[in-house]
Every structure is written in C-alpha cells, then in structure tokens.
Chain A
Amino acid sequence: MTGLTDEILNRYLDGELSPTELNEVREIFDSSEDARRRLYAMQLVHDGLKKYKVRKPSPAFTSVLMKKIVRRTEPKGQRYFIFSISSIFVLVSLAIIAYLASYIISTGQASSEGNNSVNTLLSLAERMVHGIKTLFTAGNVSLIGFIFSFAIIISAWFFFDSHRQARTKLTKL
C-alpha cells in the first residue's frame, strides 16, 4: 500500500479491505495524525449521513393523491355512459333520416318530369313534410315513443350505475 488514499478510506468504511490491507491501514493510523484526522472526518460524514432526516410532503399529500386516483378512474365510467347515450340517439336519428330519405326517393321517382330548380326544392320540401307526417302516424308514433322511452330507461340506468360506483369509491376513501 503506497499511501492512505480516499479510495482506501472509503473501502475501510465499507468494510471491504482484506485483513492484510486492514493491518497496513491501522499502522498508518497509528503513525500519522493527518491520516487519523481524515478518517475521523470521513467517519463523521458517514455517521452524519446515517442520521439524515427524512423530508415530508404536505400533510394532505395522501388524500389528494387518492382523490386523484378515484377521479382518474371515474371518467372511464362517465365516458362509457356518454358514449352509450349518444350512440343510442345517433342511431335513432340515423334511422329517422334513412326513413325520410327512402320516402323522398321513392315518391320522387314517381314525379320527376323536367321541372326547374325552385319547383324541385318545393317538391322536396313537400315530400319531406309528407314523409314526417307519415312517420308520425298513429302506429309509428307509438314505435318512436317506445324507442325513446327505451333510450331514456337505458340512460337512467347508466347514470344511476355511475353515480353508485362513484359513491362506493368515495366511501372507501
């Protein structure tokens, strides 16, 4: 061993020196005051770091974090809810539009003799009004009412379910 390097001091602290190296280091400590001083300084740092105090986040940290976790899980349910409701309404609207389109096309084919654009627009509007009237005849109204009631019941169920889940999560906290 050529001298007491910092590396040797570190290995001494960590108990990584071989018995021979350890004896040599002890001899150096016995003979050199500077070596002893350096070891004491290193030992002070080592012991001081062991007593290093933990720092604490704000007292509300855990509750804020847990609320965030709940909130982040919540939107999934809400997204499902909104998606289901909007898809039902979109489907119903598409069905109505498809019905009207098919009605206009079918009645338009019968009376499509050379007429100008104003007449075309008027006849289209007329056919659309007629189509809507046909759609809302006694038999069809009950069918549409049934579809809308069904959609409302489904929405209410989804709403109730998401509300219940949110409440369960909050009570768990």
Chain B
Amino acid sequence: MRELTDAKVIESVRKGNQSDFEILVDRYKNKAFSLLCNMLKDNMEAEEVLQDAFLKAYYGLNNFKQEAKFSTWFYRIVYNTALTRLSAKKRKIEKEMTSIDEDLNISDNTYPADSEKKELSLLLTELIDKLPPNYASVITMFYLEEMSCEEISEVTNRSISNVKVLLHRSRNALKDIVLKSNYTLEML
C-alpha cells in the first residue's frame, strides 16, 4: 500500500477510503514541515499551519486535477497557508513577499561567532532560519524538496526569473558568510 503512487492514493480517498489519506500525510509531512519552519520561524506554528494545509488538501481533493502533480498542488496550499498566517500576524508580508528587492542582510550581525567550530550543515540550517520567508521558502523548495525553478514558480506564483534571483541572492549571502569563516581555507 505504501508504494502506491499519489494518483492511486487520491483515487482511493475519493472513493471514500478516508484512512488512505494517511499515506499522503506520511509522504509529505516532513518536507512540508521543514518548509513551514523556515518560513514561519516557529515550530509550533509550523505544525498548526501544516495541519491546516493537510485539512485544506483533504477537503479540496475533489478539485485537484490529476494532470498536475499532487506535490506541486499540495505545496501551493502549504505556501499559501503560510502566507496567510504571516499576513495575519502583520509581518509586513506584502513588502516581504511581493518584492524581491528586500534587504538580505544576514551577513554581519547574525553571523555566529563560533561558526568555525560548527559543522557546515548546522551553520547553514541556522542561517536559513535567519533568511526572510521568501528567500527561505525558495531555497528550501530548491534543495530540500528538490523542485525545479519552474515548479517553484508554479508554487509561489512568481516568474522563473524572480525565483532564480531569490535563489542566487540567498546563495550569495550564504557564500559570503562561508567566505568569512575558515571553511574555504580548509579546502584550498
């Protein structure tokens, strides 16, 4: 049962096998949770939003058209639910999400002093947490969800070039921090 494709599981849920939805939940919960943690910066809130997103997906399953990928459709729900939550919290979401000209200033004041001693992946995790939601979401979808820029543009409703700009800026900011550490010296 666990090897069933998303399409088969959806078909089964639509036929009334409510419990089969659990397969989809188990399949997507971790990655979607990581995306939400990076966007909302709060694990409790991320879990709440993830529940909302799954409930929306469950009740909207009849509107899902099989020609699209379930993952893209579902991540769009997750992303939009997170945006709604952020907007409700009055985090100046309009400014943060609609403009890619936002300041990406994570290099100096947020740079951990003991970063030299830290494992790189750990340092990167901390730094992603400090990225603004729009940058964090793109970088998480690209690396963790292994989505293409086209898929990310579908999920976030941005142009592909906008997605690339966000991705490149995030990488550049992270690279600048790594350059300041001695990681590169170790490699050279």
Interface check A173, CB cutoff 8 A: yes
CB distance from A77 to the nearest CB of B (A): 13
| Chain B minimum-CB-distance residue to A51 | B121
Q: Do B18 and A41 touch across chains, with their CB atoms under 8 A apart?
A: no
Residue-wise interface mask of B (15-27) relative to A, using a CB-CB cutoff of 8 A (1 in contact, 0 not): 0011101100110
Q: Do B143 and A50 touch across chains, with their CB atoms under 8 A apart?
A: yes
Q: Do B51 and A64 touch across chains, with their CB atoms under 8 A apart?
A: yes
Chain B residue numbers with a CB within 8 Å of A64 are 51
Q: Give the total of A residues in contact with B, Cβ under 8 Å.
A: 39
Interface check B172, CB cutoff 8 A: yes
Q: How far is the CA of A173 from the CA of B17 in the complex (A)?
A: 10
Interface check A44, CB cutoff 8 A: yes
Q: Do B55 and A72 touch across chains, with their CB atoms under 8 A apart?
A: yes
CB distance from B7 to the nearest CB of A (A): 20
Q: Do B18 and A172 touch across chains, with their CB atoms under 8 A apart?
A: yes
Chain A residue numbers with a CB within 8 Å of B144 are 52, 54
Q: How far is the CA of A55 from the CA of B30 in the complex (A)?
A: 6
Chain B residue numbers with a CB within 8 Å of A36 are 188
Interface check A62, CB cutoff 8 A: yes
Interfacial residues, chain B to chain A (CB-CB below 8 A): 17-19, 21-22, 25-26, 29-31, 33-34, 37, 43, 46-47, 50-51, 54-55, 58, 120-121, 123-125, 128, 139-140, 142-144, 164, 167-168, 171-172, 174-176, 178-179, 183-184, 187-188
Interfacial residues, chain A to chain B (CB-CB below 8 A): 6-7, 9-10, 13, 33, 36-38, 40-42, 44-46, 48-58, 61-62, 64-66, 68-70, 72-73, 169, 172-173
